[in-house]
Amino acid sequence: MLCQECRKNEATIHIIKSSDGKQTELFLCEHCAHDRDELDFSYEPKFSLHQLFAGLLNQNLFNNREASSFPGLQCPSCGLTFAQFSQVGRLGCSECFTAFEEQLKPLLRKIHAGCSHRGKIPFRIRTKVLYLREIDELKEDMQQKVLNEKFEEAAVLRDRIRQLEAQIIDTGTVKGENQ
Amino acid sequence: MEAGGPDTDVVISSRVRIARNVRKYHFPCLAADDIRNRILEDMHLATGKKEEFKEFSYWPMADLSILEKQSLVEKHLISPLLAGESKHGALLLRPDEAISIMINEEDHLRIQAILPGLQLEEAWKEAGKYDDLIESEVDYAFDERYGYLTACPTNIGTGLRASLMLHLPALIITRQTGRILGALSQVGLAVRGLYGEGSEIIGNLVQVSNQVTLGQSEEEIISNLSSVISQVIEQEKNARQNLLDKKRANLADKAWRALGLLKFAQVMSSQEAIQLISDLRLGYDLGLIKTVDHKLLNELLVLIRPGCLQLMTGRELNREERNIERPARIKQALERSQ
Ligand SMILES: [Zn+2]
Ligand SMILES: [Zn+2]
């Protein structure tokens, strides 16, 4: 394993530090370990989040009997295997999210405030994404109406959903949208 | 970084960083050398088309010395990860250094804004402006449900990391930090200090940042962080007032002694220097000492670090040499400002 500080020398020193019941790990070469007291003062979290995530991932797999059931799981686009990912905690390309979605979802739920993006949207697909968000909401509403046997109101929602869906064309933009 | 900005007696700086990737390329850790070169070219091309980027300077990591890279890390303009990427990493830097864009770090792009004092919303606006400019030229990796796609799942969604560098001497002296920092981590904020031997926080400096990036909008993330921090600021100010009422002479003594050591000491470690700068800063913020200002104090905090120190001296220095060079440089900076 390479030193996490210089990424050049072989790491020979393993530092485990615990504060407030949290453990952090660091693998360093001798040179960097010696210099550490001065190099440590960085604004950027150097090792916490990846290690934390990879740790979470390993723990999850370890506790999960199905862990051995996806040995062949691999991203078709970049070739990263799920086993590799769970070691390093980093994905290889934007397709990895689709390939590992089922495995990632429970973890995303653990570290984030849910599983759906509510922030900024790139301008060129903005209208489409806003329509899709609206469709999702309408579908939920519609199901609720059906459960409550309010079929006429549900039908109105269904028509609105169809209308929105028709406006979204496959190219990622929306009919009549001028950019 | 310039001084100024609101609540600058407690908040040293506000930083916002957004992670972005180009759809068609593998993320940097998996991309082959030629792909990473193409990413550099694409970014150069995209930003080159925009008037707003004309004033930026472009720094391929390959063209920088180790000392130059280290001092950029110390100024928080690049990450240690980018500094270690010697072949394909690059930095785009606005002349005032408030905006820096890392290319081929963990993600293809990391756009960062740093402003003095509590200015998270302004920092988000600044970073967002350059994000919009690049986005108009580049197809970002974006998923309708998961938002901006990033190499590490901890950044997915908004790709936004907002952080504040806080100076909390009164809360730390009065031993209230455990309670308050514990509460921060319970509301989803990550807290980091610079720990010396044991678990003492060196220089009373603490960094607080958001952990959640998916499921909340950028504005929600930033307003949550700001509102929680404004309570911490309030508590720190109360604790300072309390200390001032009870221990005025001791605080003034501490600040003046710190100034004396910073001016006249001959050998000084960075840990000692950071602690003394903190004592001096508290004295200044409480009105007990007037011969310094935030601009100078911020400058000292950077120049005492190994990379900046060696860059100013123009050669590599070992630890013992740095401990001698450090107080000399501090003395010069103090004399220059007076
Ligand atoms: Zn090393
Ligand atoms: Zn992939």
Q: Tell me the mean pLDDT in the region B1-9.
A: 77
For residue A45, list chain B residues with Cβ-Cβ distance below 8 A: 190, 192, 209
CB-nearest partner of A119 from B76, B84, B217? B217
User: Average pLDDT for residues A83-101, to the nearest whole number?
Assistant: 89
Write out pLDDT tens, residues A133-172: 889 889 999 999 999 999 999 999 999 998 888 887 654 5
Q: Could you tell me the CA-to-CA distances from B109 to A59, B141, B245 in Å, in that order?
A: 30, 11, 49
A78 and B146 within 8 Å at the Cβ level: the answer is: no
Q: How many CB pairs under 8 A join A and B?
A: 168
pLDDT of residue B190: 83
**Two tokens, residue B244:** 């001032």
For residues B229 and B180, give the distance between their C-alpha atoms in angstroms, rounded to a whole number.
Answer: 10
Helix (H, G, I), strand (E, B) or coil at B30: coil
The C-alpha atoms of residue B309 and residue B67 are separated, in whole angstroms, by 9
Q: 3-class SS at B22?
A: strand
Check CB contact under 8 Å for A97 and B270.
no
Separation in Å, CA B318 to CA A34, B71, B315: 12, 16, 10
- CB contacts, 8 Å: A37 with chain B: 196, 269-271
From chain A, the residues in CB contact with B135 under 8 A are 122-124
What part of A 23-52 touches B (C-beta under 8 Å)?
A: 35, 37-46, 48-50, 52
Q: Do A117 and B76 touch (CB under 8 A)?
A: no
Chain B positions touching A49 (Cβ under 8 A) are 152, 154
Residue B108 Cα to ligand 1 middle (Å)? 25
Looking at beta carbons, which residues of chain A come within 8 Å of B71? none
- The alpha carbon of B60 and the centre of ligand 1 are apart by a number of angstroms equal to 22
Compute, in angstroms, the gap from residue A83 CA to the centroid of ligand 2. 13
Cβ A178 vs Cβ A166: under 8 Å? no
**What token pair was written down for A59?**
């723990």
Whether pLDDT at A119 is above 80: yes
Q: Are A41 and B216 an interchain contact pair (Cβ–Cβ within 8 Å)?
A: no
Q: What is the pTM of this model?
A: 0.82
* Phi, psi torsion values for A169, nearest 5 degrees: -105, 160
pLDDT range class, residue B221, cuts 50, 70, 90: very high
Q: Determine, for residues A43 and B15 on separate chains, whether the beta-carbon distance falls below 8 Å.
A: yes
**Ligand 2 center to residue B19 CA distance, Å?**
17
Shortest CB distance from B144 goes to which of A17, A35, A129?
A129
Give the whole-angstrom CA distance, residue B292 versus residue B334.
8
Tokens 């739920």 belong to residue: A109
- B152 contacts in chain A (CB < 8 Å): 49-50, 53, 89-91
| Residues, chain A | 179
What does residue B78 show for φ and ψ, rounded to 5 degrees?
-135, 165
Percentage of chain B lying above the pLDDT 90 cut: 78
Residue B219 in this model has a pLDDT that exceeds 80: yes
Give the Cα separation of B102 and B17 in Å (integer).
Answer: 10
Closest residue by Cα to residue B283 from B165, B117, B170: B170
Report residue B17 CA to chain centroid gap. Answer: 10
Q: Which residue of B has its CA nearest to A4?
A: B81
Instruction: Give residues with Cβ within 8 angstroms of B234, minimum separation 6.
Output: none
Q: pLDDT at position B275, please?
A: 94
Q: Residue A69: is its pLDDT beyond 60?
A: no
Distance from CA of B269 to the nearest CA of A (A): 9
Quick one: which of B91, B106, B269 has its CA closest to A46? B106
Q: Of the candidates B25, B81, B149, which has its C-beta nearest A97's C-beta?
A: B149
pLDDT at B197: 55
Which has the higher per-residue pLDDT, B189 or B240? B240
Strands (E), B152-216: 160-167, 189-195, 201-210
Amino acid at A149: E
Q: Which residue has tokens 């050669």? A: B315
Identity of the residue numbered A13 = I
C-alpha span between A72 and B269 (Å, rounded): 52
Q: How far apart are CA A61 and CA B337, in angstroms?
A: 58
Q: Taking CB atoms and an 8 Å limit, are B79 and A52 in contact across chains?
A: no
* Closest residue to B306, CB basis, from A38, A44, A113: A38
A35-66 tens-digit pLDDT: 654 434 333 334 444 455 555 555 555 444 44
Contact in structure between B125 and B14 (CB atoms under 8 Å): no
User: Which is more confident, B5 or B319?
Assistant: B319
C-beta of residue B216 within 8 angstroms of C-beta of residue A118: yes
Q: Which amino acid is at B177?
A: T
DSSP 8-state assignment for residue B200 = P
Segment A113-126 shows an average pLDDT of 88
Ligand closest to CA B21 = 2
Contact yes or no for A119 and B147 at CB 8 A: yes
Interface test with B, best of A78, A91, A105, A133 (most B CBs within 10 A): A91
Give CA separation, A179 vs A32, A127, B31, in Å. 52, 10, 32
